[in-house]
């Protein structure tokens, strides 16, 4: 299978592994049908009917490129968040924005600080640009702010990643601790504050926009993929100072946003009543998952997200057997990648039909192990 012979040394040496295997690939490779799609922290409650209608209306306009300046979406977001459009940059999901951030900050060999077991797609980008991952373990299933800060200082790192709430554990820190961490960072270190799950977090976990908006080294990333139910639309954004937000214009794909996705995001922002309703359903579903876990002698961790990590009480091999076993029943879930987090399985919230399948399958799987 010949390939071009002169890729850069960096790219030539990159592994061909991918961050995640999708449920469609699992279906194809294992010949199984996914009946409960509760593994990728998608939102099975779906987007608002008003959003679906907006997408259908926008379909006739797909012969046009989207506005490369994303003016309307930025204006709507700024009004919603209480900041200026200039504080924002838009991208094709947070994953794309993470890639841009790494590209803008990391030259080969530079250290990047994150937690051991945190978001693999961020690591994929760090490795892809030749960065050197430096990690600190989770403490009590939470990312360790002190450990991260120590590493940043020790390494004089230009980039640190921190998700609040956290994926894959669903844990969170208080807003005041996040703000204190951000302010304690050297200004030569860019902090990615990944807030993909902020909409489902409890009161007091997410810093107010105003608290960090003047710090040029803090970039908050958010998405329409989770609480808004638009994972397939690929719309994410960053919040920072105007100077830092504008830097994305140097590297982003100016015509990269899909037109229906942008229309969906704008419509979603307008329907906050639906969002509240979904957040309520997510909370109920979290409790449902915890109850199923408890009924099977397993312990659900507290969650601020649209998924629940369940401690299965043994090692990664045991948790993986549960993940694989559930898939045999058509229940697609995932699990953290490294110890000791990988004693857990990770189950996304979703409609009752999905929960019922999970409830039905779990005891059978546990009994078979």
Residue number with CB closer to a second copy (104 or 366): 104
93 binds a second copy (CB under 8 A): yes
Nearby residues of 154 by Cβ (< 8 Å), 6 or more positions away? none
What does each C-alpha distance from 102 to 97, 143, 324 come to in angstroms?
9, 20, 33
238 binds a second copy (CB under 8 A): no
Angle between the N-to-C axes of helices 352-368 and 272-295, in degrees from 0 to 180, rounded to the nearest 10: 20
63 binds a second copy (CB under 8 A): yes
280 binds a second copy (CB under 8 A): no
Encoded one letter per residue, x for contact with a second copy by CB under 8 A and - for no contact, window 33-62 reads ----x--x-xxxxxx----x--xx--xxxx
Among 82, 202, 204, 232, the residue binding a second copy under the rule CB under 8 A is 232
106 binds a second copy (CB under 8 A): yes
Q: What CA–CA distance (Å, rounded) separates 347 from 364?
A: 17
Sheet holding 299-300, edge to edge: 299-300, 307-311, 344-348
**CB of 336: closest distance to a second copy in angstroms?**
18
Residue number with CB closer to a second copy (6 or 317): 6
89 binds a second copy (CB under 8 A): no
**CB of 65: closest distance to a second copy in angstroms?**
5
Sequential DSSP letters for 51-88:
HHHHHHHHGGGTTSPPPTT-HHHHHHHHHHHTS-GGGE
Residue number with CB closer to a second copy (256 or 340): 256
Residue count at the site for a second copy (CB under 8 A)? 93
Q: Are 338 and 41 in contact (CB under 8 A)?
A: no
Stretch that binds a second copy, among 64-72, 192-200, 281-289, 331-339 (CB under 8 A): 64-72
b (16+ CB within 10 A) / e for 48-81: beebeebbeebeeeeeeebbeebeebbebbbeeb
Encoded one letter per residue, x for contact with a second copy by CB under 8 A and - for no contact, window 336-365 reads ------------------------------
Q: What CA–CA distance (Å, rounded) separates 341 from 243?
A: 37
Q: What is the distance between the terminal CA atoms of the chain, rounded to a whole angstrom?
A: 41
Among 35, 50, 67, 147, the residue binding a second copy under the rule CB under 8 A is 67
Region 136-195 residues binding a second copy, contact defined as CB under 8 A? 158, 187-190
Region 16-35 residues binding a second copy, contact defined as CB under 8 A? 16, 18-22, 24-25, 28
Q: What CA–CA distance (Å, rounded) separates 339 from 343?
A: 7
**CB of 363: closest distance to a second copy in angstroms?**
27
């Amino acid at each position: 299978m010949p390939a071009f012979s002169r890729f850069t040394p960096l790219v030539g040496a990159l592994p061909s592994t991918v961050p995640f295997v999708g449920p469609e690939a699992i279906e194809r490779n294992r010949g199984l049908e996914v009946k409960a799609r509760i593994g990728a922290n998608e939102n099975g409650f779906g987007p608002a009917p008003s959003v679906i209608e907006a997408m259908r209306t926008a379909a006739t306009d797909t012969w046009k490129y989207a506005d490369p300046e994303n003016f309307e979406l930025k204006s709507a977001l700024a009004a919603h968040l209480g900041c200026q459009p200039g504080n924002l940059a838009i991208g094709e999901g947070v994953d794309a924005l993470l890639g841009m951030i790494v590209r803008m900050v990391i030259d080969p060999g530079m250290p990047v600080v994150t937690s051991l077991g945190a978001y693999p797609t961020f690591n994929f980008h760090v490795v892809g640009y030749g960065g050197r991952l430096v990690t600190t373990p989770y403490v009590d299933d939470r990312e360790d702010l002190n450990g991260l800060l120590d590493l940043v200082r020790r390494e004089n790192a230009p980039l640190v990643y921190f998700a609040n709430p956290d994926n894959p554990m669903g844990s969170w820190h208080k807003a005041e601790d996040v703000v204190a961490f951000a302010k304690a960072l050297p200004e030569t270190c860019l902090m990615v504050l990944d807030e993909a799950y902020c909409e489902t977090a409890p009161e007091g976990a997410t810093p107010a926009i105003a608290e960090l908006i003047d710090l040029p080294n803090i970039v908050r990333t958010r998405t329409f993929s989770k609480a808004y139910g638009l994972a397939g639309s690929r719309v994410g954004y960053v919040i920072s100072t105007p100077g830092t937000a504008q830097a994305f214009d140097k590297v982003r794909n100016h015509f990269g946003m899909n037109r229906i996705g942008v229309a969906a995001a704008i419509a979603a922002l307008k329907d906050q009543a639906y969002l509240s309703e979904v957040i309520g359903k997510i909370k109920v579903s979290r409790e449902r998952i915890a109850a199923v876990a408890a009924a099977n002698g397993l312990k659900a961790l507290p969650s601020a997200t649209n998924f629940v990590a369940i401690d299965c009480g043994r090692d990664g091999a045991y948790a993986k057997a549960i993940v694989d076993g559930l898939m045999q029943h058509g229940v697609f879930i995932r699990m953290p990648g490294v110890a000791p987090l990988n004693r857990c399985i990770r189950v996304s919230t979703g409609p009752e039909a999905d929960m019922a399948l999970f409830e039905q399958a779990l005891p059978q799987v546990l009994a078979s192990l």
